[in-house]
Chain A
Amino acid sequence: MPKHSKPTATFMSTPTPSQLRTNADLRQLQRTMAAALMQPLTRKDGLATSTQVDFITPNDRMSGFERLEIYARQYWFRLLDCLYDDYPALRVLLGERRFHQLCRDYLAQHPSTSWTLRNLGSALPAFLTEIKARDVARVEWAQTLAFDEALKKPLRIDDLLGSDPSTLHLGLQPCVVLLQIDHAVDHFITAMKKADADVRGSASQAMSEAPTRASIAKAPRLKRERVHLAVHRHDNTLYFKRLAPESFAMLAALRDGLTLADAIEVALAEASPDTDWPAQIRDWFTEFSQLGWFIKSPHKS
């Protein structure tokens, strides 16, 4: 759950220039208006009565306060909508009221700093302190990344033949996200989508729309379980793939720039001696290469 601190994006009253002669004047006016719009709405979704509005002209139907309030509501509702779209499973887990308050608290501390709304929820997983909620948020943010990160030219298994493992560096596709989590979030999301599709009568809508109130009312159970997960895109469809701890460790080490030999050493540091690891590693490489996960390393050639 969120850290219980006062929002930092509080409104500060600053004088606005009566005339705009310089770019600094324009910036001051824009700062004042942005601060007014981005301060948290009241409990009744209104603008705080203390808001400075002397830079807005009233008309015969609305005060300057009321006119500015239209923009404040638009700002908050648009950004809340975006988080609702990006974190449907977290919404199911927390329930409507808690999720809504979480989003408001998050946006108050993390106003958008990107030109694209796609990045709005990037800091939400780290904002959560409850592990269960954070695991769900991490997986949902990974889905956002896997959805539209680049798919680079994959290396084939033949490209790796004859390479020296002690010097070979491999990269991982940007659209493959590795996560170690303590809850079976993949099963939770799959069950949630099935329930949602049952409600809607169409599975095709489940990926892109927030759950309805009906499906929220009966959330699936989120089991506690250590899971090594890859969230990835294949043929422009998102998938979850559970990994063995050892293959997860190897992929993570390769992603982080270790050589193949070092990555395998890290992966098998505490592995059981009863397994035929050379055969197992060959199988992993065949599978991951077929999935197109390996690319030329961004770290070293």
Chain B
Amino acid sequence: MPTNPYNGQTDLGIGLGLRVPHYRHILEKKPVCDWFEIISENFMVDGGRPLEILDSILEQYRVVQHGVAMYFGNADPLNRDHLKKLKRLVKRTNTPWLSDHLCWGSVDGRCSHDLLPMPYTLSVAKHTAEKIRQARDFLEVPICVENVSSYAEFTQNEMTEWEFLNEVVERADCGILLDVNNIYVSSQNHGFDPFEYLRAVPHHRVGQIHIAGHTRLDHVILDTHDHPVPDPVWELYAAAIQNTGSTATLLEWDDKIPSFDDVHAEALKANRYLHEHTHA
């Protein structure tokens, strides 16, 4: 089940997040890499070096857009200025699908620039799903929503995170960017079984998977993206692709970034699990 409507019927393999320290290496060495994921907002500008870099990358590689500022969970309406600039970028990259987070981040025009957790209630799920539909209709590209890692839960919650995710994606008829590191981080912070989460996910809607590392403190795990993928996350990844099939997979490494080759080698470890699944 490598292709589905939520990833634009594509069959991408293992990708990497496009990050500034690797620009020179990528443009000069042109390493073999299935695809790159860009943070949309970094390229939603009117000119200059960011767009020059992007155009050079687009000449050589497939690029998929991943956003951090759509905030489907905001009580406020979608930001039209943001959407217009995002659509302009979608046309530039020809991204087969577009992802952003199942979170909120601003209210009354004040922006936290964070991926804040949602309260898990039916009314909020309906509201969030409607906004995803609005965004997809405007952007005219499939949308996958990513489960975020979280450190707090609301007293108003009426359901589990995975029940909320299901409500949202079924009502929005959208895809899922399944971040298995985020599932692990949240499971440790909130005390649930990550495999129960995985079993509940509507697998046919998973268009992409994220893997990453994290940082364990005394009482909490932080989603820092500054380490190799730890074993518990690989175990979740293996379990995920048992259900989803060989899904486009991306390694996120955003801080203390090693060389391109080191990051790429870490990402390619996913091949072992993908091959096991493919040849099982």
Question: Interface of A with B (CB < 8 Å)?
Answer: 16-27, 29-31, 33-34, 37-38, 54-57, 59-62, 64, 66-68, 70-71, 74-75, 78-79, 111-118, 147-151, 174-175, 208, 233, 236
**Contacts between chains A and B (CB distance < 8 A), count:** 137
| B200 at the A interface (CB under 8 A) | no
In the complex, A23→B127 CA distance in Å? 7
In the assembled complex, how far is the CB of residue A115 from the closest CB belonging to chain B, in whole angstroms? 4
CB distance A20 to B121 under 8 Å? Answer: yes
CB distance B47 to A71 under 8 Å? Answer: no
CB distance B123 to A21 under 8 Å? Answer: yes
CB distance B127 to A26 under 8 Å? Answer: yes
In the assembled complex, how far is the CB of residue A123 from the closest CB belonging to chain B, in whole angstroms? 14
What residues of chain A lie closer than 8 Å to B49, measured between beta carbons? 147-148, 236
In the assembled complex, how far is the CB of residue A181 from the closest CB belonging to chain B, in whole angstroms? 23
CB distance B113 to A79 under 8 Å? Answer: yes
Closest residue of chain B to A120 (Cβ to Cβ) is: B113
Closest residue of chain B to A38 (Cβ to Cβ) is: B110
In the complex, A54→B152 CA distance in Å? 12
Closest residue of chain B to A56 (Cβ to Cβ) is: B152
Among the interface residues B46, B50, B113, which one has the most CB atoms of the partner chain A within 10 A?
B113
In the assembled complex, how far is the CB of residue B247 from the closest CB belonging to chain A, in whole angstroms? 29
In the complex, A148→B41 CA distance in Å? 13
Given the interface contacts A20-B119, A29-B119, does A174 sit within 8 Å of B46 by beta carbon? yes
Across chains A and B, which 10 residue pairs bring their CB atoms closest together, nearest first?
A27-B75, A150-B46, A148-B48, A67-B152, A148-B45, A30-B107, A61-B219, A115-B69, A112-B111, A26-B75
In the complex, A154→B63 CA distance in Å? 30
CB distance A117 to B48 under 8 Å? Answer: no
CB contact between B190 and one of A17, A18, A59, A71 (< 8 Å): that residue: A59
In the complex, A76→B108 CA distance in Å? 19
What residues of chain B lie closer than 8 Å to A56, measured between beta carbons? 152-155
CB distance B110 to A20 under 8 Å? Answer: no
What residues of chain B lie closer than 8 Å to A74, measured between beta carbons? 114
In the complex, A79→B113 CA distance in Å? 8
- The number of residues on chain B lying at the interface, defined by a beta carbon within 8 Å of a beta carbon of chain A, is 47
In the assembled complex, how far is the CB of residue B141 from the closest CB belonging to chain A, in whole angstroms? 19
In the complex, A107→B81 CA distance in Å? 23
What residues of chain A lie closer than 8 Å to B189, measured between beta carbons? 59
Return 25 A-B CB contacts under 8 Å, by A number. Answer: A18-B155, A20-B119, A25-B123, A26-B75, A26-B119, A29-B156, A37-B114, A54-B155, A55-B155, A57-B155, A59-B153, A66-B219, A70-B151, A79-B113, A111-B110, A111-B111, A112-B113, A113-B111, A115-B41, A115-B69, A115-B111, A147-B48, A148-B50, A151-B48, A174-B46
What residues of chain B lie closer than 8 Å to A61, measured between beta carbons? 219-220
Closest residue of chain B to A24 (Cβ to Cβ) is: B75
CB distance B110 to A34 under 8 Å? Answer: yes
What residues of chain B lie closer than 8 Å to A150, measured between beta carbons? 46-47
CB distance A115 to B119 under 8 Å? Answer: no
CB distance A116 to B69 under 8 Å? Answer: yes
CB distance B112 to A75 under 8 Å? Answer: yes
What residues of chain A lie closer than 8 Å to B193, measured between beta carbons? none
| B185 at the A interface (CB under 8 A) | no
Given the interface contacts A115-B69, A115-B81, A116-B41, does A31 sit within 8 Å of B154 by beta carbon? no
In the complex, A151→B47 CA distance in Å? 6
In the assembled complex, how far is the CB of residue A107 from the closest CB belonging to chain B, in whole angstroms? 11
CB contact between A71 and one of B76, B151, B156 (< 8 Å): that residue: B151
In the complex, A174→B229 CA distance in Å? 43
In the complex, A117→B107 CA distance in Å? 16
Interface bits B54-87 vs A (CB < 8 Å: 1, else 0): 0000000000000001000011100101100000
CB distance B48 to A149 under 8 Å? Answer: yes
| B20 at the A interface (CB under 8 A) | yes
Given the interface contacts A208-B20, A233-B48, does A62 sit within 8 Å of B219 by beta carbon? yes
In the assembled complex, how far is the CB of residue A111 from the closest CB belonging to chain B, in whole angstroms? 5
CB distance A115 to B75 under 8 Å? Answer: no
In the complex, A6→B194 CA distance in Å? 46
CB distance B114 to A78 under 8 Å? Answer: yes
What residues of chain A lie closer than 8 Å to B81, measured between beta carbons? 115
| B38 at the A interface (CB under 8 A) | no
In the complex, A56→B153 CA distance in Å? 6
Interface members, chain B 104-151 (any A CB < 8 Å):
104, 106-114, 116, 119, 121, 123-124, 127, 151
